[in-house]
């Protein structure tokens, strides 16, 4: 099972990213769970200073924006080797 981490404090953009990531992961056919990382110190441990961010299995894929479902689908597919 893959772990998709949403890195952000819970703002509207972070919530939108969680929705987008869920749709994209379903399209890719990933077996996944979404984990919301909201503590600023934990977010900074990922090397992220601009939220929201998205990581797959601890590897940060992007930060500072909410990409489209298609963009996230491509990123997840590449990162998961699908």
Domain ranges of the chain: 2-80
- Of the residues 14, 17, 18, 54, only one is catalytic, namely 14
pLDDT, average across residues 44-65:
95
Quick: pLDDT tens for 15-51: 999 999 999 999 999 999 999 999 999 999 999 999 9
Backbone angles phi, psi at 21, to 5 degrees: -65, -40
**Range 2-80: architecture per CATH:** 3-Layer(aba) Sandwich (3.40)
Per residue in 50-80, is it b (16+ CB within 10 Å) or e — as a string? Answer: ebbbbbbeeeebbbeebbeeeebbebbbebb
Give the chain's count of helices (H) and strands (E): 3, 4
Of the pLDDT bands very low, low, confident and very high (cuts 50, 70, 90), residue 81 is confident
- Of the residues 10, 11, 33, 50, only one is catalytic, namely 11
**What gap in Å lies between CA 43 and CA 78, rounded to an integer?**
23
Look up the pTM and report it.
0.92
- In the residue annotation, 14 being an active-site residue is answered as yes
Q: Answer whether residue 67 shows pLDDT above 90.
A: yes
């Amino acid at each position: 099972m893959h772990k998709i981490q949403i890195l952000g404090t819970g703002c509207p953009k972070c919530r939108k990213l969680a929705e987008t990531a869920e749709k994209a992961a379903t399209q890719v056919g990933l077996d996944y769970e979404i984990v919301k990382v909201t503590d600023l110190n934990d977010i900074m441990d990922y090397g992220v200073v601009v939220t929201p961010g998205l990581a797959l299995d601890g590897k940060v894929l992007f930060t500072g924006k909410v990409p489209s479902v298609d963009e996230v689908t491509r990123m997840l597919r590449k990162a998961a080797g699908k």
